[in-house]
Amino acid sequence: MGDRRSGVREDNGAGGSVGARPGWSSAALCAVAASLAFAGSVSAQGDLPLGLPEVAFSAGVPDPVSAEPWWRAEEDEALVALLEEGIAENHDLRAAWERVVQARARVQRAGSPLYPALSFDGSASVAPAESLGFMFGAGGLASAGGEAPETYTSTTATLNARWQLDVWGRQVLQRRATLLEAAAASGDRKAQALALASRLAAAYYDLVAAVARVAIVERQIASNQSLLELTELRFRQGAATALDVLQQRQQLAATSTLLPQARLLLRTGEQQLALMLGRDPASSHFDVAGALPEWDGEPAVGRPEALLDNRPDLRAALARYQAARSRARSANRAVMPALSVSGKAGNQALYLTEWNSQWYWSAGATLSVPLFNGGSQAAAIREARSAERAAYHALYQAYLGAVREVEQALVQEAEMRAQVRAYRDQLDAARQALEESRSRYVAGLTNYQSVLTATNALQQAELNELQAHRQLVGARILLHTALGGPWAVELTMEKQENRE
């Protein structure tokens, strides 16, 4: 995120000068000089350098990450539709959008002191005539008939204007700080949308894996049923024992117990996905892809410093640091003299025995020089500078944490890819072993125990390979989330924004 420059030069708070004007007393000039000296002394610490460490990723292709959302490259229409629906309709994101609206309203409020304040004031009052006559002498209130009125009426109608000049740019810095805080709120919302996209994708692929698990278990049940029929046939032919039949029946029953568990995972996955989409969890069903995706090759990870541009949470942390810097500089300038101008114009009227009115106006200027406030302003400056340093350290830690997340996802993907390869080798060997053992069993060359062992090994290998494949997909999703990208910082919620 670039550092936006305001129209006010950002110095250490001691810049600028006050030219002497005729009529100023020596005391006032001394007070101004003392204020300038104090402002310079409290801001002599200088600016905190960004100073983030230079690091490098241990794996991945150093090409820039894709500018398009990763899920659009999967050619999975169901996934794309679910993610876009979730980003548009999720209630947590709607709440985050309202916080952005609030932050933008604060920007407008922070800019209002830069403009003159106008007000119209009107008043009317009735008072005893004696109170007015006291000022002029009772004889001056007598009317032509010789009787003094009992009351008099006075009215005023005035247009007032007041403008506190932002001589030192303090209000400009305050407004800049709120602008940056609004940008941080927007970054928080987009980071929340990025995290939601990751959770939605994970829930979607959990559903894909659950569908695949149901299919695997159903296929295993059918295979065990077929093997049971074969064993019973061989038993009737005298080629198998009763124990063989009982063991195969037990194997079929044990495999059948896996089907309700698989269906439960499927239904639970649908309910979780419906909840994140804001749908009714009790009646939502989803059509998903038939298999988990195969992601080969190393992904493009870019350079670590690009995370500051590609991750919304880091952009938000950087904006908060810059906002804290602006507030610290604004606090420094609060010890400067304040200059304001004011004016008013209006009409005043008085009714005693008849109406009398006149138009009037006035204009003036006020110079306020802070002399002593019990150390309140010095404490405010220390507080603002401490907040600046805290925001810097938060940014530093967030950057290191982002690099760690990328590294963790890279390591996890590499290890899970190796595990998937090992499980697939095991699965191929288990299939060949079962095929060979069944052939030998049918030919009467081996006993049933070898078939049972091979069957158990194959069934476990199929489920292990599916679970490892799902974890590999999850590692890639985590990597996309950790890297972010131009698409991540441009995530929009058009339906939410149109509601403003």
The tokens describing 203, both together, are: 């829930």
In 3D, which of 471, 472, 477, 489 has the Cα closest to residue 71? 477
Give the CA-trace dihedral at 317, 323, 325, 328, to 10 degrees: -130
- Strand arrangement of the beta sheet that strand 117-128 belongs to: 117-128, 151-165, 338-351, 355-368
In 3D, which of 155, 123, 127 has the Cα closest to residue 141? 127
Q: How far apart are CA 227 and CA 452, in angstroms?
A: 10
147 CB-contact burial (10 Å; exposed 0-12 / middle 13-18 / buried 19+): exposed
For residues 159 and 342, the answer to whether their CB atoms sit within 8 Å is no
CA-angle at 20, arms to 32 and 329, nearest 5°: 40
Amino acid at 4: R
- Phi and psi angles of residue 98, each rounded to the nearest 5 degrees, phi first: -65, -30
Using N-to-C axis directions, what is the helix angle for 258-277 and 77-89, rounded to 10°? Answer: 50
**DSSP notation for 356-367:** EEEEEEEEEEEE
Q: What is the pLDDT of residue 26?
A: 40
Give, for all 500 residues of the chain, the pLDDT tens digit: 334 333 333 333 333 333 333 333 343 333 333 333 333 333 322 333 467 777 788 887 888 888 888 888 877 888 888 888 888 877 888 888 899 899 989 888 888 888 899 999 999 999 888 776 555 544 445 544 556 678 889 999 999 999 989 888 888 999 999 999 999 999 999 998 899 889 999 999 999 999 999 999 999 999 999 999 989 998 998 888 899 899 999 999 999 999 999 999 999 988 888 888 878 888 778 888 778 988 877 788 888 888 988 999 999 999 999 999 999 999 998 889 999 999 999 999 998 888 899 999 999 999 999 888 888 889 999 999 999 999 999 999 999 999 999 999 999 999 999 999 999 999 999 999 999 998 888 888 888 888 889 999 999 999 999 999 999 999 999 999 999 988 888 776 554 455 44
CATH class, domain 36-116+168-338+376-498, is: mainly alpha
Q: How far apart are CA 457 and CA 449, in angstroms?
A: 12
pLDDT digits (tens, 9 = 90+) for 288-339: 877 898 887 778 888 888 898 899 999 999 999 999 999 999 999 888 999 9
For residue 125, give the H/E element and its range: strand 117-128
Q: How far apart are CA 432 and CA 457, in angstroms?
A: 11
Q: What is the pLDDT of residue 220?
A: 92
Domain extents for the chain? 36-116+168-338+376-498
Q: What is the pLDDT of residue 63?
A: 85
Q: What is the pLDDT of residue 11?
A: 36
Number of H helices, E strands in the chain: 13, 4
Residue 164's alpha-carbon distances to 22, 31, 157, in angstroms, are 21, 19, 23
How crowded is the C-beta side of 76, counted as CA atoms within 13 Å?
22
In 3D, which of 107, 111, 100, 97 has the Cα closest to residue 178? 107
Q: What is the pLDDT of residue 134?
A: 54
Q: Cβ of 99: how many Cβ atoms within 10 Å?
A: 15
In 3D, which of 178, 483, 463, 165 has the Cα closest to residue 320? 178
Helix, strand, coil shares of the chain, percent, nearest 5, are 65, 10, 25
Q: What is the pLDDT of residue 44?
A: 28
> Euclidean distance between the first and final Cα of the chain, in Å?
26
pLDDT digits (tens, 9 = 90+) for 464-487: 999 999 999 999 999 999 999 888
